[in-house]
Structure 1
Amino acid sequence: AVATIHFLGLAITGAVIGGSMKYLAVVSTIVGLLIASKISKKAIKLHLTLAALVRVVVMSIANYILVALLFPQYLSFSEKYLKNVSISGNVLLDMLIYVAIFNIIHVFYSIIPAIIIIKYITKHVKEKIES
């Protein structure tokens, strides 16, 4: 619900593409977490792995569509900045690799603090209920 409200706020301001990409990133992360929770409620590594995997796949497809099909002029812009740090020698592939790395980092950046906060709150709520 929060992601949808955030998307609508961004869309109203005219940031439809950026808002859509943010929405896809958040929703794909949540889908990965939901898949992991069906397998195991407590396997944090599984949750992080599936959240990252689903997000990377979804965002790689979205970025490919955006850059290769809808706005190919961005490839020449990206080439200027990626030529010195090229991994594959292919601008589009390099960009997708760097975006995947960003998305993996962002999953950890988003989920680990949330887990810590949830554990802290859960512990303190249980203590309050039991006392």
Structure 2
Amino acid sequence: MKEGGKVNQFIRYSAFEIALAALCAGLAIFLTIYKVVFAFPILPYLKFELAEIPVIMAFLMAGPFSGLLSSVIYWIVLTMVGEWTPIGPLMKFLAVTPTILGLWAGLVLSKRLKKNSSVFLSMGLGILMAIAARVIVTSLMNFLVLWWLFPHFLSLAAKYLEATIGFQTDSPYAVLLMTLLFTAVFNILHSFFSIIPSYYLVVKAIMKVKPVNLKTWFRRMFSES
């Protein structure tokens, strides 16, 4: 009976993870299609998107499987209906997924370093690792796109840099360096923009309902009693 109960609980929780991932991915797609975005002033083709918040929430509520599945669903659908396909959706996927993995790694590491670490310290370490993972992956991908795959995008970036901050140079290396620098700044800001609202939405709103599945995963990661 006990084994059967564990199996049933696993099936119910797995179904919950999948359903939540699909729901959050659907909300992310809705926010993307209806362009709930804000341009980064220095390089306006970079957009702060509210669409990342539901995906991060899926991770915080139900764990890494749900968060990563939501990110994959979001990427697949965005490839079919989004802009600048397939590069645009792929770039978004390679920004969101390292953010989730970095946040997860930070939470796990904080638990191992200190069994009863505070939520503040756990989230702080998680955010730092999420930023590091996101910036490294997106910087490498942007280098590949700007320098090898679509070098004409570098000319577009040069025009924006000149128009917004007055940066002028004849060196493509300098343009590439400045573009990667400000893209990294954008991704650092976007990490805060995506993670902090997601955390507060989960803690201040959803967690107050206290469904067992949500509470179990959340408390295990944040070492709350």
TM-score band, normalised by shorter chain: 0.7 to 0.9
The list of structure 1 runs, each at least 4 consecutive aligned residues, that deviate by more than 3 angstroms after superposition, is: 86-89
> Could you tell me how far apart the structure 2 residues matched to 1:97 and 1:78 are?
12
2:158 alignment counterpart: 79
1:9 alignment counterpart: 77
User: Secondary structure at the residue paired with 1:40?
Assistant: helix
CA offsets, 1:76-128, max 9 Å, x none?
222122135249971001111111111111111111011112212324428xx
Residues 82-101 of structure 1 mapped to structure 2, 5 A cutoff: 82-83=161-162, 85=165, 86=167, 90-101=174-185
Shift of 1:31: 1.0
Q: Does 1:24 align with 2:83?
A: no
Is the deviation greater in 77-86 or in 39-48?
A: 77-86
Structure 1, unaligned stretches of length 5 or more? Answer: 127-131
TM-score, normalising length from structure 1? 0.85
> Could you tell me how far apart the structure 1 residues matched to 2:146 and 2:200 are?
36
Q: Does 1:118 align with 2:186?
A: no
TM-score, normalising length from structure 2? 0.52
CA offsets, 1:17-76, max 9 Å, x none?
101001111101011012102211532111111111110000000000011111112222
Q: Which has the larger radius of gyration?
A: 2
Identity rate, percent: 37
Residues 50-69 of structure 1 mapped to structure 2, 5 A cutoff: 50-69=129-148
1:129 alignment counterpart: none
Pair 1:60–1:54, CA change in 2 (3 A): same
> Could you tell me how far apart the structure 1 residues matched to 2:101 and 2:209 are?
28
Higher share in helix: 1
Is the deviation greater in 73-82 or in 27-36?
A: 73-82
Count of residue pairs brought into register by the alignment: 126
Q: Please report the RMSD computed on the Cα atoms of aligned residues, expressed in angstroms.
A: 2.2
8 Å Cα contact 1:87-1:94 kept in structure 2: no
8 Å Cα contact 2:78-2:89 kept in structure 1: yes
1:39 alignment counterpart: 109
